[in-house]
Amino acid sequence: MPVRRRALAVDPFTLYVILELCSSLFFSLIFTVNMLYQVTVVQLTPLQLVLVGTILETTVFLFEIPTGVLADVKSRRLSIIIGYALIGLGFILEGSLPVFAAVVLAQVVWGFGYTFTSGATQAWIIDEAGEERAGEAFIRGSQAGQAGGLIAIPISIALGSVTVRLPILLGGGLMVLLAAFLALTMTEEGFTPTPPEDRTTWGMMLKTVRDARGMVRRQPLLLALLGIGLFYGLYSEGFDRLWTPHLLENFVLSSWLQAMEPVVWFGVVEGVLAVVSLVATEVVRRRVDTSRSASLGQALMWNAGGIVLALAGFGLTRSFWAAVVLYWAVGVLRGIHEPLSSTWFNQRIDDPQVRATMFSVRGQVDAVGQITSGPVVGMIGNASIRAALVASAAILSPVLPLYWSTIRRDE
């Protein structure tokens, strides 16, 4: 049965914004220094860096649908709480032991936790706040997340200046506390679970997946959207894992930058990105009509084209400051993409019973892309990080005709 009103219950729309704010703050606390930690403390090679990401995405691939089904047939609230607890434990492990094996095991733990939140979080707010407010919730949540990320950056820099692993350990501990907070405040009144007599673990998993497959058959456009998600997965691993060693190793830094700890100027770069992303998302919120599929599709197509060009330039430029600006461009465009893409995808799902599973399928497709491309891009990166980044831009480019075809169907 769904969880009913609690003494410390918080309004779902408000709680969703708080959740996005806090989770992004804690992730930013960790990820401001995480790649520096892996490159400078654990001393991973480009191939190892990408393999760490591949192991993370393999974990997501293996568990995305089973945990999505749990959210659909048991409790989205419970799934989200379990997820954040596991995410926190994974990062505590990574920061505690600076060796490759521990980093790998940590990816398995926090990646498994992530699958409990992926899909379930979007489905929970849609159920609790209603379809009409879902688009606004996604945008407001994204803005809150960007603000949280910005707040975390100076904290992470200060802590990282003491020891790079400290923000990772603190962020992991705060994730566990966030799970406890959600256990006290999160309600679940709009969700109707599968009846107990119909709920068998494997049977319900197969039934829910069959329902999702049937929806794709009824709405072939969903297949094109999943194809777009595949290419986003294929390209992203190279950028996510190699931008840090690219800035550290491929440019001659000015004397005043060389005098700084890398955690300081990396933190400044991330801080500027967070500010610009916050402004850009607000501009998009005001100008893009999230209720019209065609308008969303056009915005997403232009967004993807911008990512392709900026990422290729990031890999090719010989100027450090041009590389920083292009890194910001990629980061801003990616931040805009996620809430618009979630809204666009949700508009195609006409059965709320499989909504979490469909979002999880989308996440699994993204993971397949990252698993497939990761080792190849990593091997290219061992020879040339620049070449790996340019290859990642080329890999994303097929989404442009896919977006164009879906826009034409919407018109």
251: three-class secondary structure by DSSP: coil
Measured distance CA(338)–CA(326) in Å, rounded: 19
Structure tokens at 41: 């403390």
In order of start, what are the domains of the chain with their CATH numbers?
12-183+193-410 (1.20.1250.20)
Q: SS3 for 291-356, per residue?
A: CCHHHHHHHHHHHHHHHHHHHHHHHHCCCHHHHHHHHHHHHHHHHHHHHHHHHHHHCCCCCHHHHH
**If residue 188 lies in a helix (H) or strand (E), which one and from where to where?**
none
Query: What is the radius of gyration, based on Cα positions, of the chain?
Result: 21
The number of beta carbons lying within 10 Å of the beta carbon of residue 368 is 19
pTM beyond cutoff 0.85: no
Measured distance CA(151)–CA(230) in Å, rounded: 32
Q: What is the pLDDT along the chain (411 residues), one digit of tens a residue?
A: 444 455 578 888 899 999 999 999 999 999 999 999 999 999 999 999 999 989 998 888 888 777 777 777 788 899 999 999 999 999 999 999 999 999 999 999 999 999 899 878 888 888 888 777 777 888 888 889 878 888 898 999 999 999 999 999 999 999 999 999 999 999 888 776 755 445 444 555 566 566 666 666 666 667 777 888 889 999 998 999 999 999 988 998 888 888 888 889 888 898 888 888 878 878 877 877 766 777 788 888 999 999 999 999 999 999 999 999 999 999 999 988 887 887 877 776 666 666 666 776 777 788 788 888 888 999 999 999 999 999 999 999 999 998 888 877 765
